[in-house]
Amino acid sequence: MWKWIVALAALAAGCRGSDVGRTCNAGAQPGVTVLNSQALECDSRMCLQTAAAGAMPACTAFCESDADCEGGPRGRCGGGFVCATPMVVGSFACRRLCVCQDAMAGVAPAACVSPP
């Protein structure tokens, strides 16, 4: 019996992919950029909603390149996810996160760029 439970747990863990893009609850009204860092429905516990018109909250994760944002469900994000800086204030200011390309350009805001 225990062998079956261990085997099923191992199989489930092995099949788990990125959940970047999965629909989640950001806990805010549309039109506001907010990051819910206690979203239990996301593996990273981070649900991002951007202020872009029609943007839906989606699970996100920290990233360093666009490749870090691949593999998850696209949901309503036709352009896929890119590594971008969606916030310039708060605890996650200037942190790079996976963001729906339809809702955000992949360029860091001027406030987050270090002078040369």
At 61, list the tokens.
């994760």
**Rounded mean pLDDT of 65-94?**
85
Residue 7: what pLDDT? 39
Residue 47: how many CA atoms within 13 Å on its side-chain side?
18
**Rounded mean pLDDT of 61-78?**
85
Model confidence pTM above 0.85? no
Phi-psi bin for 27: left (phi > 0), alpha (psi -120 to 50), beta?
left
Structural domain boundaries in the chain: 17-108
116 vs 98: CA distance, rounded Å:
26
79 vs 8: CA distance, rounded Å:
34
**Rounded mean pLDDT of 94-112?**
76
pLDDT tens-digit series, residues 4-46: 333 333 333 333 457 899 999 998 888 888 999 999 999 999 9
Residue 115 banded pLDDT, cuts 50, 70, 90 = low
Residue 41: what pLDDT? 94
